[in-house]
């Protein structure tokens, strides 16, 4: 019996901005449902490091 691992592909990469408040820093991991990135959340003068999960789009 063969085991196949499927990893999600999402249309984002390091440096991309999402909704003009999240800047993707680097990929932390991925799985069959999505990818987790380290990101910077910016709201006015405030910034903080966050993790953000981006889920793949199903056909």
The predicted structure's pLDDT at residue 56 = 82
Q: Give per-residue pLDDT as tens, 17-51.
A: 999 999 999 999 988 888 999 999 999 999 999 99
In Å, how far from its chain's centre is CA 10? 8
DSSP 14-26: TT-EETTTEEEEE
The predicted structure's pLDDT at residue 1 = 45
Q: Is 53 annotated as a binding residue?
A: yes
Domains of the chain, residue spans: 1-21+30-36
Residue 59: is its pLDDT beyond 50?
yes
Residue 16: is its pLDDT beyond 80?
yes
Segment 10-22 mean pLDDT: 92
How many Å apart are CA 36 and CA 55, to the nearest integer?
Answer: 9
């Amino acid at each position: 019996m063969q085991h196949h691992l499927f990893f999600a592909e999402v249309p984002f990469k390091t440096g991309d901005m999402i909704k003009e408040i999240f800047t993707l820093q680097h990929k932390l991991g991925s799985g069959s449902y999505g990818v987790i990135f380290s990101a910077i959340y910016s709201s006015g003068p405030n910034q903080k490091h966050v993790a953000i999960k981006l889920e793949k789009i199903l056909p």
